[in-house]
Amino acid sequence: MGMVAIEGTVFALLIMTDLYLKGRNEHWPPGNILPPGLLWGTVNTIILLVSTIPNELTKRAAEKFHLRTVQLWLIVCMLFGLAFNVVRVFEFMSLNVSFDSNAYGSITWALLGFHTVHILTDWVDTGVLTVLMFTGPIDEHRFVDVSENAMYWYFVVLSWLPIYALIYFAPRIA
């Protein structure tokens, strides 16, 4: 839980930096930069929210030590993670700003990039757990690992919601 607290603090600092920069500028995004398109960020938000269903089913199966059910739902979770990562590429391409354009571009890319690192990290962890649940050794500790991985996914999903609002809706509010 200590790592989640540290990561949550970094997210909070990035969000506060964005809000600070917005408050110091008359127009945000500055200049002729359009706010990011809503499509890809919204698609990814839906993917993340729906992914909590197989994530929860994986967690419950792990808590009951149901190996086959855990294996099935881990694969489904991997597919959701793959879908999210593919859409995230389109999301970056639709930001309408590069990371080195100005402060707005830098903080927007930092927020999206930091969240992407968390998604990729958990996706790789889920992949490793999936392989281990198929190849063994299987013991109660492995099921605990699956359950803890599911809890971390909730952190990744919940941390996305304020970032989504900040990147996609805050620039549209006068």
CATH architecture classification, 2-172? Up-down Bundle (1.20)
pLDDT attached to residue 108: 93
pLDDT tops 80 at residue 66:
yes
Average pLDDT for 159-163 = 96
Question: What is the arithmetic mean of pLDDT over 151-165?
Answer: 95
Tell me: pLDDT of 1 over 80: no
Task: Tell me the backbone φ, ψ of residue 142, rounded to 5 degrees.
Answer: -65, -40
Closest C-alpha among 127, 123, 126 to residue 59: 126
Domains in the chain: boundaries: 2-172
What pLDDT does residue 174 have?
A: 60
Angle, vertex CA 63, rays to CA 61 and CA 66, nearest 5: 40
